[in-house]
Structure 1
Amino acid sequence: MVPRRIIRITGIVFIASICFIFLNVSVIVEWRDDVSWIPHRLRHLSNISFWIPLADGKTVFYTNFKFMPFTPKYLINNPNICQNKESLSFLVMVHSAVFHFEQREFLRRTWANKDLLLSHTMRVLFIVGLPQESSVQKRLQIENDQHGDIVQGNFIDDYHNLTHKGVMGFKWISENCKNVKYVIKIDDDVFVNIFYLIETVLPVVEKHPRHIFCYTRVNNTVARNGRHAVDKHYFSGMRRLPFSFCAGPFVLVPNELVVKLYAASLTTPFLWLDDVYLFGILPLVTGNVSLFHLPNCHEDPSNALECFSLKEQCDILAAFAWDGKTMFTLWNYNLRQYNERFLRYV
């Protein structure tokens, strides 16, 4: 006869093992959108073919793996960013690497300064994930205490989790910024000619409420190897994507569409390629949403510096600025070009 003490110990060990497995699987599911880690014998539990409706009324196979909806939790939250104003012109949603402290400060001190414009009100929101080091988290908390413009999600800040940043940003805006007209999504190394945006681009945007404005990618190859590789369960048998999507450095979205894109994300299996998922797949799932190509919002720093330094009026809307010197140089050129016209906006 087995002693009761041994039975009790065995039971405790069994329960603890089950809890350990459950907690670890929960963390993986919450932070990963790639299904390759799931054993093949378990994948059938969630297998269901998902088809994307194309603009011409046809459908195209997306994936046969139905991933559970991503439900982010806010570890740092600033729900009052958009308050105290009946209407805001722009909310700049910045996908920022959690350790990019300098890049965020460059933006606050140049074109994304929330107090820059009077005629067109603007706010900035930095979206980050969890750092690997506790020292970075402490520094982030100090930064947020000073500026109050950061939202942090409960997922690892990693290149493969950029889609999580986007979906969390859509969710947060849907909950807290209903008074914003337009959302400008950028990366934290992007300079935007905000005056050109207001004078030239905005009048076009106002005439196309069901459009997303960006540098569009057309007929892109489906990568199976390399940095942008996707699992074989996505777009199986395809060599090229049968739809367009936005390149992510600069995207302008009417706020009413942000709410709809977030709603679409709740029923659409994830893909870690954020540009393709956020601004390619979700617009198709939403329906009646078109992409408006902006050819001048994806410029290299050298082209932008040449344009702003040599031309009286540079028509570049957005450009990469991979260091502080480039960001401030472009900003100073920008102010100089607009000179007296700048007074209309401040």
Structure 2
Amino acid sequence: MASYLSRYRRRILCFCSPCILLLPVYIYVSVVLCYVMKHGASGVPGARVVHSVLPRHFIASGLKRSRDLAPHPEKSFWRSELESGALWNIIQYTTDSQYNPILRPHLAANSSSVPYTAETSRRTGGGCFPNYEINQTMPDFADLPVQMKNFVTTMHCRDYPLIIDPLEVCHPQSKQWAPTLLIAIKTQTANFENRQAIRETWGRSGKIKTLSGRQRLVRTVFLLGKSEDLDIEEKLLLEGEKYGDIIQWDFMDTFFNLTLKDVLFWDWFSRRCPHALFIFKGDDDVFVRTPAVLDYLLEVKANGSFSNGSRQENIMERFVMGDVIHNAVPIRAKLANLAGFAKYYIPESFYKGLYPSYPGGGGVVYSGSLAHRLLEVSQRVHLFPIDDVYLGMCLQRLGVYPIHQPAFLTFGFPKDEPKEPCAYHTILLVHKRSPEEMFQLWFETLTPSPECRNAPLRVKPRPD
């Protein structure tokens, strides 16, 4: 009996041993199959990865969190519909979609075929007329302030003829005689005293001596629309003939039309003064330490390029500097108050969202190279009623981030800051100065006292 059991025990062991040895293999294969079914084959060593065929424009289905896989976005890469019903957002969303290189890949290969779609002008016989039908797209149109109504009905118009076009500011064909700095001042026809103060102080045209003793060419122009006062308009014509620095276009000079001065000036610059190295654009009530600004800009040009990750970029292609404002929100208050916010009123039916970062419109400096790029991209950015915000919108689409310069005081000195003896020797620009104050500050900063001669530029940032 014992011999019989021993014989069968050997047979059982011979039969079961392979099964026991194959059991770990079976378990491993089962685990691998479960993992592949759940996560795919990419994480399995030695497994053959089979990629599924994706559509041309892939949209992730949803968020997946795994230590083995990168998280997918919760929403699609490109919104198929716009959530906002604001008029400007709808118009600009359509334009951005038409210029998107992912949605329209042929644009990158043939940029010359890109259609102009900033907004079709209603033209008859070369003119551009108000579009009163647009009030049907804004439910609160009847309740809007007059300046907002005027802007909305004419915001498709951006081509206005020149009334006064100075021809002797620059030599368009000569880089040798190009100005280092072209000063472009936003002004109105009645502000003759401001223009004259600028011409005789910080904005004088010609060879200007920098603080370091170098001579550099500066040219100044004044940007204007037209007014309803025919007497003042006649005086402006005489002023233009005398000084040769007036640029006037055939549109009404209102606050919401300041954006037109930007896009039309960029066009004028590209034709009349295309080789200027830098441009200063500001209001006619600012004071600028031009010699110090020239020294600063010459140092920027000398640096030439800056590092951006693994490559060097030409700083002149991207240079823009000013008092940069971040995370600004549209003013929704209709009525005027002590801060004067009413003139910046933007209804929610027209625009929703935060404003992009932008340099304050009181004074901004950018390179001539960037100005040419701004002209091009502005054809794809719908007009916005606030000019410095519009500049920020154009910069955003160029991927250019403005440099904050603490020495640009577009809001003046902080009220709670004690005035130091050399305060005006530490700034490059200060806003809200009368013609009399411009003369006073010009002579004070032109010949600084010994204690202020080497005063460093202001570095204290403006609190946001």
TM-score tier (shorter) = 0.7 to 0.9
What per-residue deviation string (whole Å, max 9, x for no partner) do you get for residues 137-183 of structure 1?
10001101100001101100111111111111111001111121001
Partner-residue secondary structure (3-state), 2:327? coil
Structure 2 partner of 1:337:
448
Q: TM-score, normalising length from structure 1? A: 0.74
The answer as to 2:207 corresponding to 1:91 is no
Counterpart for residue 399 of structure 2: 288
1:290 is paired with a residue whose SS is coil
How many residue pairs get matched? 289
CA RMSD of aligned residues (A): 3.3
TM-superposition CA deviations, 1:78-132 (whole Å, max 9, x none): 1331127533201001111121111100000001111251621010010000011
- After TM superposition, list the pairs within 5 Å mapping 1:95-114 onto structure 2: 95-114=186-205
SS in 1 for 2:221: strand
CA distance in 2, matches of 1:200, 1:253: 12
Q: 1:229 aligns with which of 328, 342, 345?
A: 345
Separation in 2 of the partners of 1:156 and 1:89? 31
- Looking at structure 2, the residues matched to 309 and 333 of structure 1 have their Cα atoms a distance apart, in angstroms, of 14
Q: After TM superposition, give the deviation of residue 199 of structure 1 in Å.
A: 2.6
Deviations 1:175-232 (A, max 9, x none): 1111210011111111111122123454136553212111101010122333212243
Other-structure match for 2:370: 257
Equivalent residue number for residue 257 of structure 2? 161
Note if contact 1:69-1:265 (Cα within 8 Å) is conserved in structure 2. Answer: no
Tell me: CA distance 1:22–1:81, structure 2 relative to 1, closer, same or farther (3 Å).
closer
Q: Is the 8 A contact 1:66 1:269 kept in 2?
A: no
Alignment of 1:1-346 (within 5 A): 28-29=129-130, 38-41=133-136, 68=156, 70-83=158-171, 86-117=177-208, 119-204=215-300, 207=305, 208-209=315-316, 210-225=318-333, 226-236=342-352, 238=353, 240-241=354-355, 243-277=356-390, 279-285=391-397, 287-298=398-409, 310-311=421-422, 314-337=425-448
Normalising by structure 2, report the TM-score. 0.56
Measured at CA, do residues 127 and 307 of structure 1 come closer, stay the same or move farther in structure 2, by a change above 3 Å?
farther
Select the structure that is richer in strand.
1
* Aligned equivalents of 2:220, 2:449: Cα separation in 1: 22
For structure 1, the 5+ residue unaligned runs are 1-20, 30-34, 44-64, 342-346
- Which amino acid in the other structure matches residue 77 of structure 1? D
Equivalent-residue separation in structure 2 for 1:164 and 1:105 (angstroms): 24
Q: Output the CA distance in 1 between the equivalents of 2:347 and 2:364.
A: 26
> Is residue 69–residue 269 contact of structure 1 (8 Å, CA) maintained in 2?
no
Between structure 1 and structure 2, the one with the greater Rg is 2
Unaligned runs of 5+ in 2: 1-121, 139-152, 210-214, 306-314, 334-341, 454-464
The structure showing larger relative contact order (alpha-carbon pairs under 8 Å, at least 6 residues apart) is: 1
Q: Does the 8 Å CA contact 2:363/2:410 hold for their aligned counterparts?
A: no
**AA of the residue aligned to 1:71:** D
CA shift for structure 1 position 296: 1.6
Q: Which residue of 2 aligns with 1:58?
A: none
Match of 1:53 in 2: none
Against the structure 1 CA distance between its residues 338 and 125, is the aligned structure 2 distance closer, same or farther, given a 3 Å change threshold?
farther
Percent of paired sites with the same residue = 22
- For the residue of structure 2 that corresponds to 1:92, the secondary structure is strand
Per-residue deviation at 1:41? 4.2
1:259-289 superposed Cα distances (whole Å, 9 cap, x missing partner): 1111112221111111100x2011122x232
Q: Is the 8 A contact 1:301 1:326 kept in 2?
A: no
